[in-house]
Amino acid sequence: MEELFEILEELKPGIDFENCETLIDDGYLDSLSIISLVSEIEDAFDVTIPTVEIVPDNFNSAAALWALIERLMEED
């Protein structure tokens, strides 16, 4: 999960990703940030994030993102 925090911090410095559970709801991640984030995650974790998985519930917190990544890695 440390690698995910590094990706998030590089994308949007200064946000408390460990505790924030409203990344999309509070506007920390916008559509362009999410596109960049999807690309970075796919490269870093060797997964493909299907379009149907790009929903606020999966991107509102680092924990939700990590759960998505783990699920996608198990499916491979």
For the segment 43-53, what is each residue's pLDDT rounded down to a tens digit?
Answer: 999 999 999 99
Residue 30 pLDDT exceeds 90: yes
Read off the tokens for 13.
């410095």
* pLDDT value of position 16: 96
Domain tally, the chain: 1
- Rounded distance between C-alpha atoms, residue 71 and residue 50, angstroms: 12
Q: Are 17 and 64 in contact (CB under 8 A)?
A: no
pLDDT of residue 76: 74
Average pLDDT over residues 12-39: 96
* Separation in Å, CA 52 to CA 11, 13, 65: 23, 27, 14
Its domain, for residue 71, covers 2-75
pLDDT (average), residues 2-24: 97
For position 25, which CATH number holds? 1.10.1200.10
Using a 10 angstrom Cβ sphere, with 0-12 exposed, 13-18 middle and 19 or more buried, the burial of residue 33 is middle
Is the pTM above the cut of 0.75? yes
Mean pLDDT along residues 14-38: 96
